[in-house]
C-alpha cells in the first residue's frame, strides 16, 4: 500500500502554460522532477514538404506560419536565403526597412515572451501590460502591410511596398513610448523578491553545455556566450548599426530574463538608428520575372527573436520550386535543453523554464 | 421568546444572505479592481458597468452540468465542497459587526452570538475547511488535484501555526477570547491593537493570504502549474462552492483582522475625547470600511506579485514567520508582565 512509485504526469498538450500544444511527460518524485520527456508534433503541418511543391514566392507565405509571433523575421530569413542563392543585390533602403521590421518584430515577440513568462510565474499584470505595447507594434505592421499576425511582408529582392508616408515618424513615437514601458516591466519584476527567488538558480546551464545542446539566441547568451548572428554574420543592414549584445553570467532563468530585457533596449536603439538614417532609393532590386535560382544549395541564418533561424535550400536549377527546403528552427533546438534544465527542479520550475527558453510550437513542429 | 428565538434567527438569516451576496460581489470587485490595475475595463456587459455579472455567473453555474468523474470517490467527491463551504459560513456567528444598539426600542446586538471562546471557535472551525481541499484532491482520483491537495495540506497547516501564534499575542493584550471583549479592550486601551502589535499584524496578514489560498500563496490552485489545482475535476455548482468558500474565507480573514487589529467597529483612537466626532459614523460602517480595505489589499496583492514556489513558501512559513511570531509572543508576554 505504501509504495514510493514515481508519479508520471502528462503536462500538456492541453495545459495552460506549455505555450501551445507542447506535451511534457514528467516523472515526479513528490514534486521533484526526476526526468522530463518532451513530446512534439501536435502542430506539424509539413511546411518543409509543402514548400517543395510551391514556387519560390509562395513559400514566403508559409514561413509566416512557422514562428507566428515573429512572422516578419521568418520572411526576411527566407528571402535573404533565396537572394544569396541567386546572388541578388538588395537596395539599401529595403535592407534598412527590413532591419526596422525585424527589430519591431523582436520587441513584439519579447513582449509576448515577458508577458507569458511572468504569467507562468504568477504575475498576471505584466502579461496585459506587455500585450498593450505589442498591440502598438501590430498597428504599425498593419499600416505597413495590412496584416497583423501573418504578414507576408517581404519579397525576394526587396519589399512588396514602400513604407506609408509618416510611418517612420510613428515608429520613432513608438520607440519613445516603449522606452518607459520596458522600465515599467522591470519595476514589476527585476527587483521583486519573489521573482528573484523563482528565477535565480533555476535551470542553470554552462555556456559550453548550452552550445553543445545546440541552444541559441537569448537562451545561449544568458549563459555568457556572446553569439549573435546580427554581429557575427551581419545581414540586412546590421553591419551599419551600432548596438551591443547583452550576455548573462550565471546561465539561469534570471540571466536569460535580464538578457531579453536588455535586448528590448538594444532593439529600440537599432530601430532609432535605422529609422533616422533611412536612405532614399528603390525598394526592389533587379529581380527576374520568373524566380528560378541556379542549381546549388545554400544555408543562411538570421537572428530571430528566439535565436538562430537558419534556412537550407537546394535548387535543381530547372523547376520553379525548391528541390529541398529545410529550416533550422531556434525553438526546436532550445527545446532540446528542457529535460536537461528541468531535471532535479520542481514542477513549478518547469513552467518557468518553458517560459525562459521562449518556444513557439508553430516553429518547433513546422 | 422574541429575544431568544426570533431575533437570533433573523440575525442568522440576514448575516447568511448578506455574506453570500457579499461573496458574489467580491468576485465582481476582484475582477474590476484587477482590470483597473491592468488597464482594462473588466465586466461591462451585464447591467451598467457589469454590476449584474454575479447574477449571470450564479445562473450559469447552477444550470451547468455537474460532472462526477467515473473513477472518483463519489461520496467524498460530493462532500468535499460542502466541507469547504460550511465552516466558511458558520464562522460569521461570532464576528461582531457592531456593539449592542437600540433598534425599535429593543436592545439588539450587531453580532449573532458572543461566546467566551470566540477566537478559539474561529480558529478551530476554519481549520475544518482545509479538509474540504484535501478530500477534494483525494477523491478526484486524478494526478493534478492530488498534487494540489498535498500542497494545500502542507501550506495550510504550517501557516495556521504562525497565524494562531499571532492571535495568542492579541489575546495576551486583551485578556479575553471573546471577540466583543477584544474590541472593548481596544476601546479601553485607546488604541487599535494593530499599533500595539505591528509584527503580529503583518504576520497575520501574510498568513491570512496563505490560509485563504490567495496570491502570492495560491499554490493549491496554481493554474499555470497544476491546471486549476484541487478543483480541476469539479464543475457546476460544486465548483462554485469551492469558489464561494475561498471568497467567504477572505471576508472572514478581513473581518477577524479588523476585529483584532483595527478595533472592530471603533473609530481610530477610540475613547479619545478630541476625536469624539468620529462616532458620527455608525459603528457597522466603520467595520465594513476597514474590512473593505483589507479585501482591497488582498486583490491588489494578487494583481502585483508573482507566485511563490512550494519549497520557498514552506521556508518562509517555518523559518521566518513562525520564529518571528514566537519571538513576538515572548516579548509581548514579558512586556505585559513588566507593565502589569
Complete DSSP assignment for A154-183 = -BTTB-SSPPPTTHHHHHHHHHHHHHHHHH
> What pLDDT score was predicted for residue A1?
45
Nearest CA in chain A to B142: A9
Most confident of B47-61, B143-157, B214-228: B47-61
> What pLDDT score was predicted for residue A312?
92
CA distance B328 to B308: 25
Q: Is A241 helix (H, G, I), strand (E, B) or coil?
A: coil
Residues of B in contact with A31 (CB under 8 A): 147, 151, 310
Contact A348 B223 (CB under 8 A): no
B101 secondary structure, DSSP code: E
Residues 6+ apart with CB under 8 A from A338: A24, A36, A38, A353, A354, A357
B188 falls within a domain = yes
Nearest CA in chain B to A7: B143
Nearest CA in chain B to A202: B309
For testing contact with chain A, the best of B153, B215, B306 (most A CBs within 10 A): B306
Per-residue model confidence as pLDDT tens digits over A10-23? 887 877 766 778 88
Closest of A345, A290, A348 to residue A35, by C-alpha: A345
CA distance B228 to B25: 22
B324 falls within a domain = yes
B279 falls within a domain = yes
pLDDT band at B225 (very low <50, low <70, confident <90, very high): low
Q: Is the dihedral of CA A111, A112, A117, A118 positive or negative?
A: positive
Contact B37 A125 (CB under 8 A): yes
CA distance A263 to A110: 9
Q: Which residues pair with A38 in a beta bridge?
A: A24
- In the numeric block, the cell 518607459 is attached to A180
pLDDT band at A2 (very low <50, low <70, confident <90, very high): low
CA distance A199 to A357: 13
**How high is the mean pLDDT of chain B?**
83
Peptide bond into B166 cis (omega under 30): no
Strands B100-103 and A296-304, how do they pair? unpaired
B4 falls within a domain = no
Nearest to B147 among A16, A31, A195 (CB): A31
Residues of A in contact with B222 (CB under 8 A): 122, 348
CA distance A261 to A106: 11
- Shortest distance between the Cα of B210 and any Cα of chain A, in A, equals 14
**CB-based burial, A164-193: b 16+ in 10 Å, e otherwise:** eeebbebbeebbeebeebbeebbebbeebe
Contact A124 B303 (CB under 8 A): yes
Contact B222 A124 (CB under 8 A): no
Q: Is the dihedral of CA A130, A342, B230, A39 positive or negative?
A: positive
| Torsions phi, psi for A32 (to 5 deg) | -85, 135
pLDDT band at B105 (very low <50, low <70, confident <90, very high): confident
For A142, the grid coordinates are: 498593419
CA distance A105 to A113: 12
pLDDT (average), residues B316-320: 87
B307 falls within a domain = yes
Per-residue model confidence as pLDDT tens digits over A308-328? 899 999 988 888 888 888 998
> Which chain A residues touch B if contact means CB-CB below 8 Å?
7, 9, 15-17, 28, 31, 118-125, 128-129, 132, 188-189, 192, 194-195, 197-198, 346-351
The total domain count for chain B is: 1
- Shortest distance between the Cα of A125 and any Cα of chain B, in A, equals 6
Q: Which long-range contacts (CB under 8 A, 24 or more apart) does B108-112 make?
A: B108/B7, B110/B265, B110/B283, B110/B284, B111/B11, B111/B179, B111/B180, B112/B8, B112/B11, B112/B12, B112/B15
Nearest to A122 among B40, B151, B216 (CB): B216
Please classify residue A162 by burial: count the beta carbons closer than 10 Å to its beta carbon, then call 0-12 exposed, 13-18 middle and 19+ buried.
middle
Closest of B162, B127, B138 to residue B314, by C-alpha: B162
Task: Count the helices and strands in chain B (H runs, E runs).
Answer: 13, 2
Q: Is B329 helix (H, G, I), strand (E, B) or coil?
A: helix
Helix axes A71-86, A92-121, angle to 10 degrees: 140
Peptide bond into A244 cis (omega under 30): no
Contact B305 A129 (CB under 8 A): no
B334 falls within a domain = yes
Helix (H) or strand (E) segment spanning residue A347: helix A347-357
Q: For residues B269 and B195, is the Cβ–Cβ distance under 8 A? A: no
Please classify residue B100 by burial: count the beta carbons closer than 10 Å to its beta carbon, then call 0-12 exposed, 13-18 middle and 19+ buried.
middle
Q: Is B67 helix (H, G, I), strand (E, B) or coil?
A: coil
B78 falls within a domain = yes
| Torsions phi, psi for A345 (to 5 deg) | -95, 180
pLDDT over threshold 80, residue B232: no
Q: For residues B257 and B95, is the Cβ–Cβ distance under 8 A? A: no
Q: Which residue has the higher pLDDT, B49 or B221?
A: B49
Helix (H) or strand (E) segment spanning residue A32: strand A32-39
pLDDT over threshold 70, residue B234: yes
CA distance B270 to B263: 8
pLDDT band at A4 (very low <50, low <70, confident <90, very high): low
For B186, the grid coordinates are: 481596544
Q: How many CA atoms lie within 13 A of A359 on its CB side?
A: 31
Task: Count the helices and strands in chain A (H runs, E runs).
Answer: 15, 6
pLDDT band at B143 (very low <50, low <70, confident <90, very high): confident
pLDDT over threshold 80, residue B296: yes
Share of chain B above pLDDT 90, in %: 0
Closest of A354, A320, A302 to residue A66, by C-alpha: A302
Contact B224 A351 (CB under 8 A): yes
Residues of B in contact with A197 (CB under 8 A): 308-309, 312
CA distance B126 to B132: 11
Q: For residues B131 and B138, is the Cβ–Cβ distance under 8 A? A: no
CA distance B321 to B315: 9
Q: For residues A161 and A101, is the Cβ–Cβ distance under 8 A? A: no
B267 falls within a domain = yes
By residue range, what is the domain housing residue B224? 67-99+113-339
For testing contact with chain A, the best of B213, B219, B225 (most A CBs within 10 A): B225
For testing contact with chain A, the best of B33, B42, B232, B309 (most A CBs within 10 A): B309
Per-residue model confidence as pLDDT tens digits over B239-284? 888 888 888 888 888 888 888 888 878 777 777 777 677 777 777 8
Nearest to A125 among B224, B225, B304 (CB): B304
Contact B143 A351 (CB under 8 A): no
pLDDT over threshold 80, residue B98: no
Domains and CATH numbers, chain A: 41-365 (1.10.645.10)
A14 secondary structure, DSSP code: S
Strands A296-304 and A307-315, how do they pair? antiparallel
Per-residue model confidence as pLDDT tens digits over B157-215? 788 888 888 888 888 888 888 888 888 888 887 778 878 888 888 888 888 888 777 77
For testing contact with chain A, the best of B153, B224, B310 (most A CBs within 10 A): B224
For testing contact with chain B, the best of A30, A122, A181, A189 (most B CBs within 10 A): A122
Per-residue model confidence as pLDDT tens digits over A77-94? 899 898 888 888 888 888
Per-residue model confidence as pLDDT tens digits over B272-295? 777 677 777 777 888 888 888 888
Q: Which residue has the higher pLDDT, A256 or B113?
A: A256
Contact A7 B143 (CB under 8 A): yes
Distances (CA, A) of B185 to A15, B192, B265, B280: 52, 9, 12, 21
Amino acid at each position: 500500500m505504501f509504495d514510493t512509485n514515481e508519479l508520471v504526469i502528462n503536462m500538456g498538450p492541453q495545459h495552460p502554460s506549455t505555450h501551445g500544444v507542447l506535451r511534457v511527460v514528467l516523472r515526479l518524485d513528490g514534486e521533484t522532477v526526476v526526468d522530463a520527456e518532451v513530446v512534439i508534433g501536435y502542430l506539424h503541418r509539413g511546411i518543409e514538404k509543402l514548400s517543395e511543391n510551391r514556387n519560390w514566392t509562395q513559400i514566403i507565405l508559409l514561413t509566416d506560419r512557422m514562428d507566428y509571433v515573429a512572422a516578419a523575421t521568418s520572411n526576411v530569413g527566407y528571402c535573404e536565403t533565396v537572394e544569396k542563392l541567386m546572388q541578388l543585390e538588395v537596395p539599401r533602403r529595403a535592407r534598412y526597412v527590413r532591419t526596422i521590421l525585424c527589430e519591431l518584430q523582436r520587441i513584439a515577440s519579447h513582449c509576448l515572451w515577458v508577458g507569458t513568462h511572468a504569467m507562468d510565474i504568477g504575475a498576471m499584470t505584466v502579461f496585459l501590460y506587455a500585450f498593450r505595447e505589442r498591440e502598438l507594434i501590430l498597428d504599425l505592421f498593419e499600416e505597413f502591410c495590412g496584416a497583423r499576425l501573418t504578414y507576408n511582408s517581404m519579397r525576394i529582392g526587396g519589399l512588396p511596398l514602400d513604407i506609408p508616408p509618416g510611418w517612420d515618424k510613428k515608429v520613432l513615437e513608438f520607440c519613445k513610448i516603449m522606452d518607459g514601458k520596458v522600465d515599467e516591466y522591470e519595476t514589476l519584476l527585476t527587483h521583486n523578491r519573489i521573482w528573484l527567488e523563482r528565477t535565480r538558480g533555476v535551470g542553470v546551464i554552462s555556456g559550453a553545455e548550452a552550445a553543445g545542446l545546440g541552444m541559441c539566441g537569448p537562451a545561449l547568451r544568458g549563459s555568457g556566450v556572446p553569439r549573435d548572428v546580427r554581429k557575427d554574420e551581419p545581414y540586412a543592414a546590421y553591419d551599419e548599426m551600432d548596438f551591443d549584445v547583452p550576455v548573462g553570467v550565471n546561465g539561469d532563468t534570471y540571466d536569460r530574463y535580464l538578457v531579453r530585457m536588455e535586448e528590448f533596449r538594444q532593439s529600440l536603439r537599432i530601430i532609432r538608428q535605422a529609422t533616422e538614417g533611412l536612405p532614399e532609393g528603390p525598394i526592389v532590386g533587379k529581380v527576374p520575372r520568373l524566380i528560378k535560382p541556379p542549381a546549388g544549395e545554400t544555408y543562411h541564418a538570421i537572428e530571430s527573436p528566439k535565436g538562430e533561424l537558419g534556412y537550407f535550400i537546394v535548387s535543381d536549377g530547372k523547376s520553379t520550386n525548391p528541390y529541398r527546403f529545410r529550416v533550422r528552427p531556434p525553438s526546436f533546438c532550445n527545446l532540446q535543453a528542457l529535460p536537461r534544465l528541468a531535471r532535479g527542479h520542481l514542477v513549478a520550475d518547469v513552467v518557468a523554464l518553458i517560459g525562459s527558453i521562449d518556444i513557439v510550437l508553430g516553429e518547433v513542429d513546422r | 421568546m422574541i429575544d431568544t428565538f426570533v431575533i437570533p434567527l433573523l440575525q442568522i438569516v440576514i448575516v447568511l444572505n448578506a455574506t453570500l451576496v457579499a461573496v458574489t460581489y467580491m468576485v465582481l470587485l476582484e475582477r474590476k479592481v484587477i482590470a483597473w490595475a491592468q488597464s482594462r475595463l473588466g465586466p461591462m456587459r451585464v447591467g451598467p458597468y457589469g454590476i449584474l455579472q454575479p447574477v449571470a455567473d450564479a445562473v450559469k453555474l447552477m444550470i451547468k452540468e455537474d460532472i462526477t468523474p467515473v473513477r472518483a470517490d463519489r461520496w467524498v467527491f460530493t462532500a468535499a465542497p460542502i466541507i469547504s463551504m460550511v465552516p466558511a459560513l458558520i464562522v460569521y456567528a461570532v464576528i461582531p459587526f457592531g456593539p449592542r444598539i437600540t433598534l425599535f426600542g429593543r436592545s439588539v446586538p450587531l453580532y449573532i452570538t458572543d461566546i467566551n471562546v470566540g477566537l478559539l471557535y474561529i480558529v478551530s472551525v476554519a481549520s475544518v475547511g482545509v479538509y474540504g481541499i484535501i478530500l477534494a484532491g483525494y477523491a478526484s482520483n486524478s494526478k493534478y488535484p492530488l498534487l494540489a491537495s498535498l500542497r494545500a495540506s502542507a501550506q495550510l497547516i504550517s501557516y495556521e501555526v504562525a497565524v494562531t501564534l499571532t492571535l495568542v499575542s492579541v489575546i495576551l493584550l486583551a485578556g479575553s477570547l471573546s471577540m466583543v471583549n477584544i474590541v472593548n479592550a481596544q476601546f479601553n486601551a485607546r488604541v487599535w491593537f494593530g499599533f500595539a502589535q505591528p509584527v503580529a499584524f503583518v504576520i497575520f496578514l501574510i498568513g491570512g493570504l496563505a490560509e485563504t489560498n490567495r496570491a502570492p500563496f495560491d499554490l493549491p490552485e496554481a493554474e499555470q502549474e497544476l491546471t486549476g489545482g484541487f478543483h480541476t475535476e469539479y464543475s457546476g455548482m460544486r465548483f462554485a462552492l469551492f469558489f464561494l468558500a475561498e471568497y467567504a474565507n477572505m471576508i472572514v480573514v478581513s473581518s477577524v483582522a479588523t476585529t483584532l487589529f483595527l478595533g472592530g467597529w471603533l473609530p481610530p483612537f477610540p475613547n479619545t475625547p478630541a476625536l469624539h466626532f468620529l462616532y458620527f459614523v455608525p459603528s457597522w460602517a466603520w467595520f465594513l470600511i476597514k474590512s473593505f480595505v483589507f479585501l482591497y489589499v488582498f486583490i491588489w496583492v494578487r494583481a502585483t506579485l508573482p507566485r511563490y514556489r512550494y519549497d520557498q513558501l514552506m521556508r518562509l512559513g517555518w523559518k521566518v514567520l513562525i520564529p518571528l511570531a514566537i519571538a513576538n509572543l515572548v516579548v509581548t508576554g514579558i512586556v505585559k508582565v513588566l507593565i502589569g
